[in-house]
A and B are shown apart, each in its own frame.
Chain A
């Protein structure tokens, strides 16, 4: 990316709430100078113009149907760098919760006898379909981490995402551990980088940034059981954002 021209950036979305793109818009509030460093050529949610000559593609959302695959392959073919933006693109996020049920049940529950009108299959993160160069985890993404990743990419570096657990950040914030106050949390096995924002606001980590490398899942389950959770509740907490990776690990 060592040219004098500003790198061209495009944003795409698949099955998602578009909250990560909104977070990007919000990040610009405090980093308007970013607009001087890149040229945004496509961002359907915010602009009419469409350019197809992008070098960096940010992709939000999960792949949930055959027609998504074709779009993803087109993006991969054009972009030098593809970045998975947020949990839906990174781990499948909450979209993959439907994978816990038989697909035909899921379709019938929502669309009844008209289910055949609407194309869908089990939700997947985008790297299940195309090669992905960088991930920005989280539901939603963290604004400052987004800015750090963009800066790294513009400098031609591989962005570094923490691989230590959330507890590290929570301790640095001097939060009282939620297990000490009768709550529960997935912090010990979840990838840090959000500043432990949920525990800071009194709510246990839900694992939206994905699990750390080699997580001790059994020890985590024991701790949650000691905190009084039923097996079903433990599985619910594990699967909220990580259904897809957990199911893949069992294959």
Chain B
């Protein structure tokens, strides 16, 4: 009978610290779980007593990868609490900045963190010699996305010019035209990326899952909208707690969540499953080449869904810049804010899934209560359910192969552990 003991302490090529623990004695699975061991950081406590205008700058520090996502969700929560309405130009620039971060995060995950698994190496570094054109393409896309964010908000980690109601600095029309030319040029890199990832031999594994994301009537939702699930539920974002139901688990500094099943999944695959029709036509073509359509229930294909989103973001960024140039950049100042007591919820679908920030302010605009619900936390219960379903299917394989497969599953979720513990190690005990 099979006995497997796997203990991967601090899973590598993920953002933050998490462990995989597997204990199988005589074919019986005694333990199979993913633990978040990242030091908890207590952001919800840090922002208490701080003025409203600091919050997006403090909470962007939750995560170096999705700093723009945190800043955007934070600003939306503050704006809703204080009754501030961002201009159309601000909304367009925020979307553009968001596309830059989505591209940056997805290229980092798919090329730097996932691709080495399929190319049989431990990191992207040996690929510099063996697969130079691939690495150079990744670096080029990474630089493009970073430069895009820098053009809008000064830098990607951590954005500077994003403020309550608007921006403290605006890109010039010449900068927008130059950036658009680079995005058009990046179409060829996107084609190569789709071609590369459509050749990968994704692990075969299916598990029926509830997928949750934001949704909007008029576009593929990243900022604002309503909460939808593939089980047919819809909620306004203010009711996020009915969806997330956060709870503490003793072996994880990241809290777990569940909706009407024991777990659900958020992220690129969830968005694709909910909002496929709103993808750009070129992104739909990419999805067809990668074998993705709703409803896709293989979690390993979350990385492929990220490739589809990369195509979407490049195309949509090109169109947003068209719109900005047609309108002309207006030298707007952020609107005056009148502070008063209030509560607001901001929601964004950041690279790893749906993110909620919720603040309560006193009469002076000082934050007196905060709640941040992070995509990686929302995925923890589902990742664990997937691990428990996958393990019995592969128990006859060599231990090293099982270990690698479990690590790949963890990576497919693209966990952002700094965020969640504000979490990765595999432990086969």
Contacts and interface: CB of A to CB of B under 8 A. Distances in A.
A19 B158 contact: yes
B248 A109 contact: no
Contact of B418 (A17, A203, A206): A17
Contacts of B51: 232-233, 236
B225 interface: no
A68 B41 CA distance: 13
Interface stretch (A1-9, A45-53, A151-159): A45-53
A15 B63 CA distance: 11
Given A26-B146, A98-B42, A44 B160 contact: no
A19 B49 CA distance: 25
Interface string B40-57: 111011111111001001
A201 B161 contact: yes
A150 B125 CA distance: 19
A242 to B, nearest CB: 13
A179 interface: no
Nearest to A123: B41
A117 B180 CA distance: 50
Interface in A192-251: 197-198, 200-203, 206, 232-233, 236, 240
A18 B123 contact: no
A47 B12 contact: yes
B65 interface: yes
Interface in A1-42: 13-23, 25-26, 29-30, 32, 35, 40
Contacts of A197: 154-155, 160
Nearest to A50: B12
A129 interface: no
A48 B64 contact: no
A18 B57 contact: no
Contacts of B54: 236, 240
A22 B46 contact: no
A61 B38 CA distance: 11
Interface in B106-142: 108, 112-113, 116, 122-125, 128, 139, 142
A113 to B, nearest CB: 9
Contacts of B157: 17, 19, 22-23, 140
Interface stretch (B13-21, B192-200, B213-221): B13-21
A168 interface: no
Contacts of B67: 17, 19
A110 B250 contact: no
A97 interface: yes
Interface centre among B14, B61, B113, B125 (most CB of A within 10 A): B61
Contacts of B116: 48
B129 to A, nearest CB: 10
Contacts of B57: 206, 240
B248 A22 contact: no
B304 interface: no
Interface in B384-415: none
Contacts of B245: none
Interface string A62-75: 00110010000000
A14 B168 contact: no
B42 A203 contact: no
A100 B27 CA distance: 51
A13 B158 CA distance: 18
A95 interface: yes
Contacts of A202: 160-161, 167-169
A46 B13 contact: yes
Given A201-B154, A201-B169, A16 B418 contact: yes
Interface residues of B, number: 59
Contacts of B209: none
Contacts of B40: 64, 110-111, 118, 120
A45 B122 contact: no
Given A29-B142, A118-B253, A97 B46 contact: yes
Contacts of A44: 10, 12-13, 17
Contacts of B161: 201-203
A140 B60 CA distance: 11
B36 to A, nearest CB: 10
A16 to B, nearest CB: 7
Given A46-B13, A94-B58, A201-B160, A21 B44 contact: no
B48 A109 contact: yes
B39 interface: yes
A109 to B, nearest CB: 5
Interface string B236-253: 000000000000101001
B41 A240 contact: no
B144 to A, nearest CB: 10
Interface string A90-126: 0001110110110001110111101001101000000
A46 B112 contact: yes
A15 B39 contact: yes
19 contacts: A15-B39, A17-B67, A18-B418, A19-B61, A30-B143, A43-B123, A44-B10, A46-B124, A48-B12, A64-B40, A65-B39, A94-B46, A98-B45, A109-B45, A109-B48, A110-B42, A111-B248, A117-B250, A197-B155
Given A17-B157, A32-B128, A140-B155, 12 more contacts: A18-B64, A20-B64, A46-B123, A48-B13, A97-B58, A111-B248, A120-B42, A140-B64, A201-B153, A201-B168, A206-B57, A236-B49
Interface of B: 10, 12-17, 38-42, 44-51, 54, 57-58, 61-65, 67, 108, 112-113, 116, 122-125, 128, 139, 142-143, 146, 153-155, 157-158, 160-161, 163, 167-169, 248, 250, 253, 364, 366, 418
Interface of A: 13-23, 25-26, 29-30, 32, 35, 40, 43-50, 61, 64-65, 68, 93-95, 97-98, 100-101, 105-107, 109-112, 114, 117-118, 120, 139-140, 197-198, 200-203, 206, 232-233, 236, 240
